[in-house]
Amino acid sequence: MILKTVKDAKEAVADIPSGAFLMMGGFGLCGIPENCIEALLEKGITDLTIVSNNAGVDDFGIGLFLKKRMVKKMISSYVGENEEFERQMLSGELEVELLPQGTLAEKIRAGGAGIPAFFTPAGVGTEVAKGKETREFDGKPYLMERSFISDFSLVKAWKGDTAGNLIYKGTARNFNPMMAAAGKITIAEVEELVPVGTLDPNQIHTPGIYVQRIFQGKKYEKRIEQRTVSTYK
């Protein structure tokens, strides 16, 4: 097997330059690469373009990048849990491209899969269709969407082995697998890094071929946005 281990987040992100095109896994704050985010904050690079379904909250996740003005452009499906985001967007400091969530997911999947473009019904007749080709198949209109490939994809998994094979847990999987496949360089941080041969080949979510660097995160806060509990059962 080809070993992908790096020491820590700092080493993993060392060569990410200002102006890079990044993908960052997660849905809300669930399944985000917390350790890579921290390491990038310390590096303090700027002018990033970031593909991420959401933009974090004011004091966690990508929200921290916004505070430090590290982001030039966000490509997301849903933002607004974040006042600094709103301020920068309304003032024009931050460029924002909003895409339907399924279109976003599929553009990333297509990028990793060597498919330059595909057709989807989502967004036909809406603002999202502006500047895009519309075409009918079997009498129904579809938009042509181009795929995304990142310079660096930062993903977070539950377990990973030193060959880069990843297993996610629960709904923390979300955008991580497609982003792992769509990165020219993919950096995976995991809660538990295990030796090759520990994970069942039949149960790998992201095959190691997609991962160039892997490390075990120092700690995971796993902040919850909407802690909702039922008191009875």
Partner 1 sequence: MLTKEQIAQRIAQEVKHGQYINLGIGIPTLVANYIPSELDVVLQSENGLLGIGPFPTESEVDADVINAGKQTITMLPGSAIFDSAESFAMIRGGHVHLTILGAMEVSEHGDIANWKVPGKMVKGMGGAMDLVASAKMIIVAMQHCSKDGHSKLLPSCTLPITGVRCVKKIVSDLAVLEIDPEGGFILKERAPGVSVEEIKSKTAGKLKILGEIPEMQFN
Q: In the window 159-198, what residues touch partner 1 (CB under 8 A)?
A: 161-163, 165, 168-178, 181-182, 196-197
Closest approach of partner 1 to the CB of residue 212, in Å: 10
Backbone angles phi, psi at 64, to 5 degrees: -70, -35
Closest approach of partner 1 to the CB of residue 135, in Å: 14
The entry of partner 1, a copy of itself, none that residue 134 binds, CB within 5 to 8 Å by partner kind: none
Which of 45/187 has CB closer to partner 1? Answer: 187
**What is the x/- site pattern for a copy of itself, positions 55-84, by CB under 8 A?**
------------------------------
Which of 45/153 has CB closer to partner 1? Answer: 153
Q: How many other CB atoms sit within 10 Å of the CB of residue 144?
A: 13
- Please check whether residue 191 is in contact with residue 35, taking contact to mean a CB–CB distance below 8 angstroms: no
The position carrying tokens 């060392």 is: 14
Closest approach of partner 1 to the CB of residue 43, in Å: 26
Q: How many other CB atoms sit within 10 Å of the CB of residue 224?
A: 10
E-strand ranges in 2-137 read 21-24, 48-51, 71-76, 95-98, 117-120, 134-137
Which among 229, 179, 164, 147 is positioned nearest to 27, based on CA atoms? 179
* Touching partner 1, residues 123-152 (CB under 8 A): 123-128
Which of 71/128 has CB closer to a copy of itself? Answer: 128
Which among 215, 166, 171 is positioned nearest to 26, based on CA atoms? 171
Residues making contact with a copy of itself (CB under 8 A): 106, 110, 113-121, 137-138, 140, 142, 146, 167-170, 201-203
